[in-house]
Amino acid sequence: MSQSLLNELTSREYKFGFKTDIESEIAPKGLSEGIVRYISKMKNEPEFILEFRLKAFRHWLTMTEPTWANVNYPKIDYQNIHYYAAPKAKKKLDSLDDVDPEILRTFEKLGIPLMEQKKLANVAVDAIFDSVSVATTYKKKLLDAGVVFCPLSEAIEKYPELVKTYLGSVVPFTDNYFAALNSAVFTEGSFVYIPKNTISPMELSTYFRINTEDSGQFERTLIVCEENSYVSYLEGCTAPKFDTNQLHAAVVELVTLDNAEIKYSTVQNWYAGDAKTGKGGIYNFVTKRGKCLGKKSKISWTQIETGSAITWKYPSCVLIGEESVGEFYSVALTNHFQQADTGTKMIHIGKNTKSTIISKGISAGKSHNTYRGLVQMNKSAINANNFTQCDSMLIGNLCSANTFPTIDVRNGTGTVGHEATTVKISEDQMFYAAQRGIAPEEAMSMIISGFCKDVFKELPTEFAVEATQLLGLKLEGSVG
Amino acid sequence: MKLEIKNLHAAIDETPILSGVNLTISSGEVHAIMGPNGSGKSTLSKVIAGHPAYTVTEGEVLLNGENILELAPEERALKGLFLAFQYPTEIPGVHNANFLRLAYNAKLKYHGKPELDPLEFDELIQEKLALVEMDSDFLERSVNHGFSGGEKKRNEILQMLVLNPGFALLDETDSGLDIDALRIVANAVNTFKSPDNAILMITHYQRLLNHIIPDFVHVMANGKIIQSGDKDLALQLEEKGYEWLLESVG
Amino acid sequence: MLHPHLIEKETEHTRVVQVDQDQTIEAHIKAGGSYTILFVQSGNTTLNTRFILDEGATLKAIWISHHIEEATQNIQVEFKGEGINANLSGIARLTGQQKLTTHTHLIHHQPNTNATQFFKRIIEDQAVSEFQGLVHVKSEAQKTDSNQFNHNLILSDKGRAIARPQLEIFADDVKCSHGATVGQLDEEQRFYLQSRGFSEDQANHILIQGFMDEIFDIIPAQLDPAKYRHLLYA
Question: Domain-by-domain residue ranges, chain C?
Answer: 2-186
d(CA C83, CA C114): 7
CB pair distance less than 8 Å for C174 and A422: yes
Q: A402-441, pLDDT tens digit by residue? A: 999 999 999 999 999 999 999 888 889 999 999 999 998 8
Nearest to A225 by CA among A179, A249, A202, A194: A194
**How close is the nearest chain C Cα to the Cα of A462, in Å?**
33
More confident residue, C121 or A272: C121
For chain A, give me the number of helices (H) and strands (E)? Answer: 12, 23
Q: A208-222, pLDDT tens digit by residue? A: 877 777 788 899 999
Q: Is the pLDDT of residue C7 over 90?
A: yes
CB pair distance less than 8 Å for A424 and C172: yes
pLDDT band at A92 (very low <50, low <70, confident <90, very high): low
d(CA B189, CA B183): 10
Secondary element (H or E) of residue B149: helix B149-163
Closest chain A CA to residue C154: A412
For chain A, what is the radius of gyration of the CA atoms? 22
**How close is the nearest chain A Cα to the Cα of B90, in Å?**
7
Tell me what pLDDT residue C77 has.
98
d(CA A158, CA A164): 12
Q: Is the pLDDT of residue C41 over 90?
A: yes
Closest chain A CA to residue C124: A412
This complex has an ipTM of 0.91
Query: Which residues are CB-contacts of C62 (< 8 A; sequence separation ≥ 6)?
Result: C37, C38, C39, C88, C89, C90, C91, C215, C218, C219
CB pair distance less than 8 Å for B94 and A434: no
Q: What is the mean pLDDT of residues B75-87?
A: 94
Beta bridge partners of A221: A252
Query: Which residues are CB-contacts of C17 (< 8 A; sequence separation ≥ 6)?
Result: C23, C25, C37, C38, C39, C40
Tell me what pLDDT residue A441 has.
81
Q: What is the mean pLDDT of residues C190-219?
A: 89
Tell me what pLDDT residue A268 has.
84
Q: How far apart are the first and last CA of chain B?
A: 35
The answer to which of A297-306, B204-213, C153-162 has the lowest mean pLDDT is B204-213
Q: What is the mean pLDDT of residues C89-95?
A: 96
- Contact of A279 with A242, CB cutoff 8 Å: no
Residues listed for chain B:
250
Is B in contact with C (3 or more beta carbon pairs below 8 Å)?
no
- Contact of A220 with A152, CB cutoff 8 Å: yes
Residue C92's φ and ψ, nearest 5 degrees, are -145, 145
More confident residue, C172 or A259: A259
pLDDT band at A89 (very low <50, low <70, confident <90, very high): low
Q: Is the pLDDT of residue A148 over 80?
A: yes
Interhelix angle B96-110/B118-131, nearest 10 degrees:
110
Closest CB from C159, C164, C182 relative to A405 = C164
Could you tell me if C186 lies within 8 Å of chain A, comparing CB atoms?
no
Closest CB from A379, A392, A409 relative to C182 = A409
**How close is the nearest chain B Cα to the Cα of A427, in Å?**
8
Q: Is the pLDDT of residue B46 over 80?
A: yes
- Contact of A302 with A455, CB cutoff 8 Å: yes
Average pLDDT, chain B: 92
CB pair distance less than 8 Å for A432 and B89: yes
Q: Which residues of C touch A418 (CB under 8 A)?
A: 163, 165, 178-181
CB pair distance less than 8 Å for A429 and B99: no
**How close is the nearest chain A Cα to the Cα of C207, in Å?**
16
Percentage of the residues of chain A whose pLDDT score is greater than 90: 55
Best B51, B74, B81 residue to mutate vs chain A (most A CBs within 10 Å): B74
Q: Is the pLDDT of residue A229 over 70?
A: yes
Q: What is the mean pLDDT of residues B73-83?
A: 94
Q: Which residues of B touch A434 (CB under 8 A)?
A: 50, 72-74, 77
Could you tell me if C188 lies within 8 Å of chain A, comparing CB atoms?
no
Q: What is the mean pLDDT of residues A31-57?
A: 94
Any idea what DSSP says for residue A217?
B
Best B76, B91, B100 residue to mutate vs chain A (most A CBs within 10 Å): B91
CB pair distance less than 8 Å for C161 and A413: no
CB pair distance less than 8 Å for B92 and A442: no
Q: Which residues of A touch B159 (CB under 8 A)?
A: 436
Tell me what pLDDT residue A403 has.
95
Tell me what pLDDT residue C232 has.
86
CB pair distance less than 8 Å for B53 and A427: yes
Closest CB from A433, A442, A450 relative to B93 = A450
Residue ranges of the domains in chain A?
A: 25-424
Q: Which residues of A touch C185 (CB under 8 A)?
A: none
- Contact of A394 with A422, CB cutoff 8 Å: yes
- The amino acid at residue B41 is K
Beta strands at B2-12 and B54-63: parallel, antiparallel or unpaired: antiparallel
Q: A104-117, pLDDT tens digit by residue? A: 777 777 777 777 66
Best A4, A371, A388, A410 residue to mutate vs chain C (most C CBs within 10 Å): A410
Q: Is the pLDDT of residue A272 over 50?
A: yes
The answer to which of A11-20, A299-308, A414-423, B86-95 has the lowest mean pLDDT is A11-20
Could you tell me if C64 lies within 8 Å of chain A, comparing CB atoms?
no
Q: Which residues of A touch B78 (CB under 8 A)?
A: 437
Could you tell me if C175 lies within 8 Å of chain A, comparing CB atoms?
yes
pLDDT band at A474 (very low <50, low <70, confident <90, very high): very low
CB pair distance less than 8 Å for A402 and C169: yes
Closest CB from B73, B102, B163 relative to A431 = B73
- Of A207-221, A435-449, B80-94, C122-136, the range with the highest mean pLDDT is C122-136
Tell me what pLDDT residue B206 has.
86
Other beta carbons within 10 angstroms of residue A113's beta carbon come to 17
Residue A263's φ and ψ, nearest 5 degrees, are -115, 115
pLDDT band at A478 (very low <50, low <70, confident <90, very high): very low
d(CA A200, CA A198): 6
Interhelix angle B179-192/B149-163, nearest 10 degrees:
10
What number does CATH give the domain B2-249? 3.40.50.300
The burial of C196, by beta-carbon neighbours within 10 Å (0-12 exposed, 13-18 middle, 19 or more buried), is given as exposed
pLDDT band at A13 (very low <50, low <70, confident <90, very high): low
CB pair distance less than 8 Å for B94 and A449: yes
CB pair distance less than 8 Å for B73 and A435: yes
CB pair distance less than 8 Å for C183 and A416: yes
Tell me what pLDDT residue A470 has.
63
- The amino acid at residue A245 is N
What is the distance of C-alpha A457 from the center of its chain? 18
Beta bridge partners of A256: A225, A292
Tell me what pLDDT residue A479 has.
26
DSSP string, C192-210: HHHHTT--HHHHHHHHHHH
Tell me what pLDDT residue A107 has.
76
Q: What is the mean pLDDT of residues A177-194?
A: 94
**Interface A:B, Cβ pairs < 8 A:** 96
Any idea what DSSP says for residue A75?
P
Average pLDDT, chain A: 87
Tell me what pLDDT residue A205 has.
87
Q: What is the mean pLDDT of residues A173-199?
A: 95
Tell me what pLDDT residue C22 has.
95
Longest dimension (CA), chain A: 68
pLDDT band at A1 (very low <50, low <70, confident <90, very high): very low
What is the distance of C-alpha C77 from the center of its chain? 13
Q: Is the pLDDT of residue A127 over 60?
A: yes
Cβ burial B18-28 (10 Å sphere, 16+ → b, else e): bbebebebeee
